[in-house]
Every structure is written in structure tokens, then in C-alpha cells.
Amino acid sequence: MRLLPLFLSAILTVALVIVLNMQLPVGNSKTPRLGYFLSPQQGFWQNAESVATSFDGTVKVQGLQGKAEVFFDDRLVPHIYAASDKDAYYIQGYLHAKFRLWQMEFQTRVASGRLSEILPGKDKLEYDKFMRRFGMVYGAEHSLAAMEADTTTKAAMDAYTAGVNAYISQLKDNELPFEYKLLDYRPEPWTNLKTALFLKLMSLDLAGGGNNDLLATNTKNFFGFDKYKKLFPEAVDSLSPIVPSGTLFKMPAVNPAAPKDLDSAYIGKTTAFNTIAPVNPDPNNGSNNWTVAGSRTQSGRPILCNDPHLGLNLPSLWYEVQITTPTHSVYGASFPGTPAVIIGFNDSCAWGVTNSERDVKDYYEIKFRDSTMQQYWAEGEWKNSSFRDEIIKIKDQPDNIEHIAVTGYGLVMYDDHYKATDSTGKCYAVRWKATDSSNELLTFCKLDKAHNHADYLDAISTFECPGQNFAFATKSGDIAICQQGKFVAKWNRQGEFVMPADSGYRWQGYIPNAENPQLYNPAEGYVSSANQMAVDSTYPYYLGSANNFPPYRGWIINHKLAAMHGITIKDMEAMQTDNEDVFAEMARPVLLKLLDQGRLTEAEKKYLDFYIAWNLRDDIGEQGPTIFNAWWDNLKQQTWGDEYAQSRLPLQAPVNSTLLESLLRDGNFVLADNINTKDTVETMKDNVLIAFQKAVKQLAILEKEGKLAWGAYKDTHISHFTKLEVLGRTHLPIGGGTFAINATRSDHGPSWRMIVQLTDTTEAYAVYPGGQSGNPGSKYYDSFVDKWVQGNYYPLLFITKEAALHNSRIKWHLTFTNA
């Protein structure tokens, strides 16, 4: 019952959070039943789990093909031994529900725009509308059809759903997860559609790249296309791509033609758009992964490393599991909400996944004939639209109906009823690849069973959206990487801005899988990806503006790997938690060159000295990263804040690499002048000085507050979904940063660190910032956090059933039999 004091303080906070964040009406009958929440028999007290809780037992269920055994190890990782794949997925569903039910359900509620049912409030309704109009449910329905048309994935989902529901049906009121009691609702039955919705939520989160069409359109209109191109270039100088420069690419199979009216109808056209999509995935939802071949390792066998960087939440996005059936045996990270292992290894191979950041959604301007939206103008004629009504149920209130027009250019997301923009009556449709039918689950079901490179290629071949980099290695010594997805073959800058609904602007075709960026046993002896552009500019297809692809982590990983030999697991651990800040390293010489040090006061010089003395690592106790961040942020503001302040509409800002590379080229930047000073023309020298002086003022305050050291300044935390502070872990003492391989920011970072060495006996290590249980009253709620904070790993136990019976790390035994 270690969490009792925590819960006492939680009660006070709960009331506040409900009032402040959840905006429930206060003091009337609609507040949650606090009496129920506090009741000793039913309420949250029942969720506290004793440290000595046993997970032994026998569960009677229906529909298993055979008896199944689950052995939990000392970290509460289940090792599932089942008579068939179906049984294993059934038990995986049961265990996901047993340990993570609220999270699974809540995430699919978010995905399907159903928050208002449990949490009324204008902000929740806005969120729900966004999800519906963006096509989350529409897309999930299409994917579900594809997943159910395939016998493998249909069987996996059916079994998984039955397993989740078996748990829900056995759940007693007093055992309901804490969050249900807090928010006063009950779980509903799981469905295959919910699994599809969960996967769509991942597509949305990982579709960070190219998500700024509306902002980019405003920005292009505000500056004009010529200046826009300088602010948002197509290439970066410091790129170290996944496929090495100099690789010869084949002639492209698809040659998209740019429309003839490009200048008048697209690039030069101005359309004001003042809405920003309320849900913008973090552009840093990225990751690192790399694989080194036996030629570079001490063991002579490949090592694969993966750490997907995502938002840090408790409970974690991941749930660790081993699944063993007569057809396969696999270990790794799974998604509560989805059957199979997503990132992991088996006896033959290991794989990891990172985000491709490619642009998979585009917006079209739609002109309707009248307000009924029944006909829209496209390709020189009036075309009929169809409709989709999305009914949003609101707790204790009448339903809200979103009447959404469906066009040949996608769902009409923005119209007169939703964030209407200008008086011209124009509407905007969104064409999102994830709303097409595709079967991403099949990829993971097949990877779990893969033995060799051919199996891997077959497994990933059906993966369409969101594009991912799949890193791969086998015991036989193969290494590979592929940026896989069904990517649209685009003409230059297609889909960067809102497009007219006309044939030349449609998606004209897809890049064949064989032409996706990929490597198989390259001479370099390693493959890696870290969200950078996958290829250089000789690749025959347009990838999207360089804005979407941060180059720095990829640069440092490739440079380090190229210099390493005799690599061991310890080397890889050290590299995954490496804090070298390569962006700061590239920036320091040019910043110091541009800074007129003669004009600094003594007080300012003090901070400059700290900065010069900095070892260029984002280590926890360093002051340099804080000084650099403050300086750089002020520099951006000083450089373009004046121009951006003049816009009535929201704009998109250039990325760090664009400014830095411009400085490195000629010490200049296109927006250097301060347009508010009419008589003088400022240069970047002026901006660098003013920015430093402004930064020092902020730094002096930080220093007084004791926050000059990087760890204190960055203040990493892991929040519970409800943002209840007592349920999260705050003020974590860790280093790392956006540009370091150790990409830990304040609320974002490596979500599953895994290292697998493919020796005869697989050696695998991993850690994630969470714990196996979603119950805040359990000791396993956050049991891995400290290890993760220290940058350490757990050795993973991948064992046969016979070995499990005698292994000292196995603590509990749960048997499943048919009732």
C-alpha cells in the first residue's frame, strides 16, 4: 500500500484538476460521484496493490484451443506459452486488459473522437470534432476491412478482442482501474475496430512530417515564393542520409508531371487560411536506430539498436511481452490495444522501427455550388459529393452531428460549420494516406515469425502508412534497413501548400517498394536512421521540404559508427545515451565569430566564459546547453520575430538547420534586417549580439532560481494521461537533448531502448520509462523509471517453457484453461 499518502494528496489535486482541466460544472449533480470514488469498498482504495501481491493463479475462460501457461518474471514481464497463435493473442489481449485496460480504452476514445461522452466541455468537443473530420474513424473502418479480409490478421484480432473481453467480463466493480472510478464511467466491450483505431492514432502521432500545409500556405503568401524557398529549402548541407551519398538510383518508374498552371494556381496564388490544426504531432516523434554488421562487432555478429522517441507518458505506450507458440517465439515491445510484438526479436533476427517523417497528408481547396455542399467544382465540372454523418455523443447533453462532405479529394475537414475561415465560402478537404485501406498489423505478425531477409522484405512490403524505417539484422549476419511506406510520387513542392481541386494536383501514383530507400549488407558495415532525409538530392523522387527532417542525430550516429570497430553491447549502450550535441558543436564557431565580444559587459562576459568552457555535451550538470538554448532562441526571435509579428495569420517558422546553415555559408540570413528600424540595416552580427544580451537577462534569473544547470532547466517529466501530477514522475535528474542521440527533452524522449546482439544465444537488453502495470497503486507502475533515468538497461529473459520452469527470475505462474 505504498501509494496511500500519495493518494491522499491526490484527492485534493483531483478536485482541482477536474475543475481546471476537465471543466466539469462545479457544485451540481454532474460532478463525478466523489462518494463513490472515496468509498472503502468500491473506490480507489481498492486499487492499492500490496508489495507482496501474487500474480499466480488459474483463469477459466472460453474458446481456447489448448491449455496455456504464463510465467511472469521479476519485472512482471509475461512469457506466454500457448498451443496456437490464436490462443497466444487471446492471452495477450487478456493481459493487456488486466494491466492496461483504462489506457487502451482511453486512447481509442481519443482516436475516435469520443471524449465528450465522458468529459463534457468545449475543448473536448473541439478535439472530438477534429478527430472525426480528419477521418480517424473513416480511416480505421477502411483499415479494419483490409485487416479482416486477411485470414492471419482477422484471426489475430478476433482472438485478441475475445481475450480483452474475457477480462472485462470478469472484472468486478471494486477492481475497476482507478481512472474509471475517478471519471465515473465503465469500460465497454473491446472490438476489432478499436484495434484499428489505436493503429490510426499511431499514424496520426507519427505523421509529423509535412503537417503544416495550412501554415506553409500562409507563410508562402506572406513572403512570396522566392523568399519562402530560402526559408524552407529542399536540402540541408549537413545531411548524412540513410542511403549513403553517391549511391546510384534507378530511373524512376513513376514520373509525376507538375500542372501547367502551377505559377498562377498554386505557387503564386494567395488564399488566407487562419486555422491551425489543433492536434499537431511533435516533429520530434522520431527515433534513432541502427544496426552494425558482424564485421564491426567484437562477437562477429550483428547488433541492432532501437529507441523510438515519443511523448513520455505513464502508463507507457509499450508493454513488454514474450509470445511462444508452435509456430514462433518472439520477445519485445507490444502496444496495449494491438496483438503481436511491434519491435523485438526472435531466435533468427531482430528489428526496430523509426519514423520516416514523410508527408502523407495534403489539403485541397474545395468550392461548393451552394451551402448544401452537394456539388463541388473540380476538373472543370460540378461533381457530386457524398456525405458522412459523425455523431458525437455528449455526456448529459444532446448529440452533436458533424455532417461531413466526402469528395474525390478527401473528407471536407474545414467548412462553414467547422472553423470557417474567410468570407469566400471556400472549404478545405484533407487527403490523408492513412484513410485508405491498408493492413499494417500483418507486417508485425509476419516480422514476429521472420527468419531471414526475404521474410523481412515480405513482412514490410504491405506496410503503407505511416512510412517507417525498418532496421533489421539476422543471426546469419545480414543487416538491412528500408524506408517503407506507400509513398506518393510527387512533383516538386507538391502538397506543401493547399492545392486546388484539379487533376494535375491529384496524387498521380505511388513509388514502387523496390525504389524505396533501402540498404542490404552495405560495405560500410552498418545501417542507421534517425529521422533525417533518407537519401540525398540525386534520389529521383521529391521527399518534401528539408524542414521535416532533422539532420543532426543522423549525422552524429553515422560519424560515430564509421569510426568504430570491435563493437560490444557496452559500446552501444554508451552510444544510445550519448549526450554530444552536434548542433551546438557546429554552431559555436560561427556564433563566436559573429559576436562582437568587445561590446559585452563584465556580467555578460561571465556567461560567455561558461559557454566557451562548455564541453558541448548535454550533460545534466552543464550550464553551456542552457546558455546556448537561450541564446539561440533569442537569436531566432531577433532575426525573424519582427517580420512574423506583422502577419495577421499564423505562420510557420524556419527550422534550426536552415538558420545555422545560412550562417555557416556566409554569416547572413535572408530575414536579418530588423524592419522596425527604418534608417538602419541590421546584419546577423547585430542580431547575435542583441540575442546574447537578451539571453543573459533570462540566464541571470535562471541562475537565481538555481536552474542554470541543464538538468534543472530542462526538467524532464513523465505525465499520467490525466496530467495529475501525483501520478506522474517529475523533476527527473537526466541529461540529453534534442540534438543528442540521448534525445531526452522535458516531456519527450527514448520510449523503448533496445539492444540485441545476434549471437548463438541472443543477448538482449532494454528499458522503457514506465512499468508493466497501469495501476498507480502498484509497485510495477513506474518500476523501470529509475533505471531509465540512470541510462541503464535490463537483461531480457527470452526462454523456453522448460527453462522457465526452473529459472530463478520467474516469480509467478498463471494458467489459462477452458471453463
Ligand X SMILES: *C1O[C@H](CO)[C@@H](O)[C@H](O)[C@H]1NC(C)=O
Residue in the block written with cell 484499428: 196
Residues 508-547 that bind ligand X (CB under 6 A): 529-531
Stretch that binds ligand X, among 110-118, 151-159, 361-369, 734-742 (CB under 6 A): 734-742
φ, ψ dihedrals at 365, nearest 5°? -85, 130
The three-class DSSP label of residue 756 is strand
User: Which amino acid does the sequence have at 205?
Assistant: D
Shortest Cβ 232–ligand X spacing (Å): 13
- What mask, x for binding ligand X by CB under 6 A, covers residues 740 to 759? --x-x---xxx---------
Among 307, 440, 448, 673, binds ligand X (CB under 6 A): 307
Task: Report, in Å, the least distance between residue 652 CB and ligand X.
Answer: 12
Which residue type occupies 291?
T
Sheet strands side by side (includes 57-61): 57-61, 810-818, 68-73, 78-81, 319-324, 329-334, 343-346, 349-355, 468-474, 479-484, 518-520
d(CA 231, CA 311): 28
For ligand X, give the closer residue by CB, 282 or 642: 282
Q: Report the DSSP pairing between strands 361-368 and 499-500.
A: parallel
**Residue with the three cell numbers 561571465:** 606
Smallest distance, Å, CB 263 to ligand X? 31
Which residue is listed with cell 500542372?
A: 259
Q: Which lies closer to ligand X via its Cβ, residue 167 or residue 798?
A: 798
Q: What is the DSSP letter of 335?
A: -
Query: Rounded CA gap, 478 and 452, in Å?
Result: 8
Q: Which is nearer to ligand X, 221 or 469 (CB)?
A: 469
In the complex with ligand X, the residue whose CB is nearer, 765 or 798, is 798
Tell the smallest beta-carbon distance from residue 356 to ligand X (Å).
6
Q: From the CB of 594, what's the least distance to ligand X, in Å? A: 16
- Rounded CA-CA distance 541/220 in Å is 22
Rounded (5°) CA angle 546-549-550 = 115
Nearer to ligand X, 394 or 797 (CB): 797
| Min separation Cβ 308 and ligand X, Å | 4
**Minimum CB distance to ligand X, residue 255 (Å):** 27
- Residue pointed to by grid coordinates 516531456: 747
Question: Residue 384 or 808: which CB sits closer to ligand X?
Answer: 384
Angle at which helices 151-170 and 85-111 cross, to 10° = 80
**Binding string, residues 579-618; x marks residues near ligand X by CB under 6 A:** x---------------------------------------
Which CB atom, from 112 or from 738, has the smaller least distance to ligand X? 738
Residues 532/546, Cβ–Cβ less than 8 Å:
no
Binding mask 380-399 for ligand X (x = CB under 6 A): ----x---------------
Sign of the four-CA dihedral 439, 443, 444, 445? positive
CB of 469 to ligand X, least distance (A): 4
Kindly tell me which residue out of 103, 634, 656, 773 binds ligand X, with binding defined by CB under 6 A. Answer: 656
Q: Which is nearer to ligand X, 272 or 789 (CB)?
A: 789
Applying CB under 6 A, among 297, 798, 804, 816 the residue interacting with ligand X is 798
Which of 102, 131, 97, 100 minimizes the C-alpha distance to 114?
131
Cis, peptide link before residue 466, omega less than 30° from 0: yes
Q: Does 43 bind ligand X (CB under 6 A)?
A: no
- Window 396-415: residues binding ligand X (CB under 6 A): none
> Is cis: bond before 187, omega within 30 of 0?
no
Strands 526-529 and 287-292: antiparallel
CA separation for the pair 473, 304 (Å, rounded): 6
Cβ neighbour number for residue 425 with a 10 Å cutoff: 13
Site residues (CB under 6 A) for ligand X, limited to 184-223: 205
Binding-residue pattern over the window 683 to 722 for ligand X, x denoting contact by CB under 6 A: ----------------------------------------
Q: Which of 112, 221, 306, 484 binds ligand X (CB under 6 A)?
A: 306
Q: Which residue in 735, 770, 774, 777 binds ligand X (CB under 6 A)?
A: 735
Single out the residue of 70, 79, 104 nearest to residue 177, CA to CA: 104
Q: Is 798 exposed, middle or buried (0-12, 13-18, 19+ CB in 10 A)?
A: buried
C-alpha cell at 248: 546510384
Q: Which of residues 78-137 bind ligand X (CB under 6 A)?
A: none
Look at the alpha carbons of 355, 360, 363, 368 in this order and tell me if their dihedral is positive or negative.
negative
Q: Which is nearer to ligand X, 582 or 734 (CB)?
A: 734
Instruction: Give helix 656-666 / helix 624-645 axis angle, nearest 10°.
Output: 90
Q: How far is the CB of 679 from ligand X (least distance, A)?
A: 31
**C-beta closer to ligand X: residue 44 or 376:** 376
CA 603 to chain CA centroid, nearest Å: 41
Q: Of 98 and 748, which has the nearer Cβ to ligand X? A: 748
Residue number with the smallest Cβ distance to ligand X: 354
Q: Is the Cβ of residue 484 or residue 494 nearer to ligand X in the bound state? A: 484
Angle at which helices 582-594 and 656-666 pack, to 10 degrees? 50
The stretch near ligand X (CB under 6 A) out of 61-69, 130-138, 360-368, 737-745 is 737-745
> Rounded CA gap, 429 and 384, in Å?
14
Q: Which three cell numbers stand for residue 477?
A: 549476419
Provide, rounded to whole angstroms, the least separation between the CB of residue 174 and ligand X: 31
* Residue ranges in 323-362 that form contacts with ligand X under rule CB under 6 A: 324, 329, 346-347, 352-355
620 vs 708, beta carbon nearer ligand X:
620
Q: C-beta of 303: minimal distance to ligand X in Å? A: 12
CB closer to ligand X, 266 vs 768: 768
Position among 734, 755, 766, 814 found at the interface with ligand X (CB under 6 A): 734
CA 452 to each of CA 350, 448, 476: distance values in angstroms, whole numbers, following the listed order: 10, 11, 8
Residues 274-293 that bind ligand X (CB under 6 A): 281-283, 285-289
Q: Which of 619, 673, 686, 782 binds ligand X (CB under 6 A)?
A: 619
What character string, x for contact with ligand X (CB under 6 A) and - otherwise, covers 756-795?
A: --------------------------------xxxx----
Q: Which is nearer to ligand X, 494 or 744 (CB)?
A: 744
Cα distance between the two ends of the chain? 33
Count of residues of this chain found to bind ligand X when the rule CB under 6 A is applied: 56
* Residue 526: CB minimum distance to ligand X, A: 13
Question: Smaller CB distance to ligand X: residue 218 or 483?
Answer: 483
Cβ partners under 8 Å of residue 555, min gap 6: 238, 239, 240, 532, 582
190 vs 290, which CB is nearer to ligand X? Answer: 290
Name the nearest CA neighbour of 336 among 78, 60, 81, 684.
78
Query: Is the Cα dihedral 537, 542, 547, 549 positive or negative?
Result: negative
Beta bridge partners of 475: none
Interface mask (CB under 6 A) for ligand X, residues 133-172, using x and -? ----------------------------------------
37 membership: H or E segment, kind and range: helix 34-38
Which positions lie near ligand X, rule CB under 6 A? 205, 281-283, 285-289, 306-308, 310-311, 317, 324, 329, 346-347, 352-355, 384, 468-469, 471, 529-531, 550, 577, 579, 619-620, 629, 632-633, 655-656, 734-736, 738, 742, 744, 748-750, 788-791, 798-800
